[in-house]
Amino acid sequence: MSSDKTKSAPATPQAIRGTQDIFGPDAEAFAFVVETFERVRRLYRFRRAEMPVFEKTAVFSRSLGETTDVVSKEMYSFEDRSGESLTLRPEFTAGIARAYLTNGWQQHAPLKLATHGPLFRYERPQKGRYRQFHQIDAEILGAGEPQADVELLVMADQILKELGIAEGVTLQLNTLGDAPSREAWRAALIDYFRAVKGELSEDSQERLEKNPLRILDSKDPRDKVFTADAPKIDAFLSQEAQDFFGKVTAGLDAAGVAWTRAPTLVRGLDYYRHTAFEFVTDRLGAQGTVLGGGRYDGLIEALGGPHTPAVGWAAGIERLAMLVADYGQIVEERLQVVVAVEDDTALQYATRLIAALRRDGFVSEMVATGSPRKRFDKAVKMNADCLIAVGIQDGTAGMKIRSSPISELGERLQKFVETWGR
């Protein structure tokens, strides 16, 4: 081997901007969010699905609409080695709709689906906003009734409550109406914003004629001046759309889910109809939306499928995990049993013991490295509920409970020790 000391060491590669390595309490909070989601979605009988992380670019450009920020500015698209344009998924819904069509999942309609995983958007990284982030996601496909919207919202509310972060989070609810209502509102918005076009942000000037609803969703202060007084959907809602919204709000009231009306709330994506909603907190600064969704009756048709009403939501795991950490919800798992191996010749015995303890459900650790004389002290410092010393007596390996609380755990351990190895 040559050792050329004059060569400088290669620079350590850095992580990609906007990505995170999550570890420690943050990683525990992240896992807690996913575990809670998994538990609650089972109560509501949502079925798990896994979709690929990348799709043909058209899956997103056709379903999200060319004028959305996600498609026009935020997608990670690239050509693969055969020259095909692929995109790392920026959201779940389009891929789920594609999977629904290509796999014939219509046979399961109405289909309640749950998934979670990473998503990719080329955004300006900041607190609560990353280029790779993660969502939990729930959708009901092939269901046109307002009860589907209610079921999804009640589930979202339960998840936030079980995460212990519901305090200070409000459900903001709006309706975008059916197609005729939305069309009439759109025309009124174009008239309204056209009058002040010169004062809007460049982006909004551009989207004015194509997609004026998006101006309501703008974060630019120049646009925000005008959004509060913009025409509201209520003036344009058809009787049918009003009835639909009335059933959603009545269902939420019946289930005990608090909501507030947010008449300028729209979703960033083109395919939404009727119900649109966000769960918002003021604890995360500008990135206060933790969960968002709505009804997207037009999406599956836009992908070339049959008319399929559907509704869904997605929530950012990082933002939820930040709230969980904020509220101090994460308590580290208690170490229940520590086994101190005081003699190396008893190592196999101790290995058998700790394997059995763990199979029996005890959270346990073994101390069997370093000087044998120091292992007992090391084990004491780990502050477990119970301490077992393993050593050699009269030539054979054995154990002794050195400390154990008078509690259910202590009794369980006592019982375990009495019966183990017999």
Considering beta carbons, is residue 296 or 362 the nearer one to ligand ATP? 296
**Which of positions 269-288 make contact with ligand ATP (CB under 6 A)?**
287
Among 174, 316, 342, 375, binds ligand ATP (CB under 6 A): 316
Residue 33 Cβ vs ligand ATP, minimum distance, rounded to whole Å? 11
Binding mask 135-174 for ligand ATP (x = CB under 6 A): x---------------------------------------
Query: Which of 142, 251, 292, 312 is in the footprint of ligand ATP by CB under 6 A?
Result: 292
Tell me how far, at minimum, the Cβ of 115 lies from ligand ATP, in Å: 13
Cβ atoms within 10 A of the Cβ of 109, count?
14
Alpha-helical (H) ranges within 163-201 are 179-194
Of 172 and 249, which CB lies nearer to ligand ATP in the complex structure? 172
Instruction: Give the other-Cβ count within 10 Å of 184's Cβ.
Output: 17
The nearer residue to ligand ATP, 76 or 416, going by C-beta atoms, is: 76
Question: How crowded is residue 383: how many other Cβ atoms within 10 Å of its Cβ?
Answer: 10
Which of residues 57, 289, 329, 351 is near ligand ATP by CB under 6 A? 289
Looking only at residues 3 through 42 of this chain, which bind ligand ATP when binding is defined by CB under 6 A? none
Alpha carbon 105 to its chain centroid, in Å, reads 24
Continuous H helices in 277-383: 299-302, 317-326, 347-359, 372-381
User: Does 264 participate in binding ligand ATP (rule CB under 6 A)?
Assistant: no
- Residue carrying structure tokens 């799709």: 55
Asked if residue 91 binds ligand ATP (CB under 6 A), the reply is yes
- What stretches of 203-351 adopt beta strand conformation (E)? 260-261, 273-281, 289-295, 310-316, 337-341
Instruction: Name 371's Cβ contacts closer than 8 Å, sequence gap at least 6.
Output: none
DSSP 72: I
Under rule CB under 6 A, residue 268 binds ligand ATP: yes
Per CB under 6 A, 294 contacts ligand ATP: no
Q: Which stretch binds ligand ATP (CB under 6 A): 226-234, 290-298, 349-357, 394-402?
A: 290-298
Q: Compare residues 292 and 298 and give the one whose CB is closer to ligand ATP.
A: 292
Q: Which of 139, 149, 178, 318 binds ligand ATP (CB under 6 A)?
A: 318
Q: Is 364 helix (H, G, I), strand (E, B) or coil?
A: strand
Binding mask 112-141 toward ligand ATP (x if CB under 6 A, else -) reads ---------x-x----xxx--x-x------
CA distance 398 to 350: 9
**What is the C-alpha to C-alpha distance for residues 313 and 233, in angstroms, rounded to an integer?**
21
Contact 151, 248 (CB under 8 A): no
Contact between residue 208 and residue 186 where contact means Cβ atoms under 8 Å apart? no
How many residues at the interface with ligand ATP, by CB under 6 A? 19
Q: Write out the two tokens for 148.
A: 């589907």
Report the interface residues with ligand ATP, using CB under 6 A: 91, 121, 123, 128-130, 133, 135, 268, 287, 289-292, 314-316, 318-319
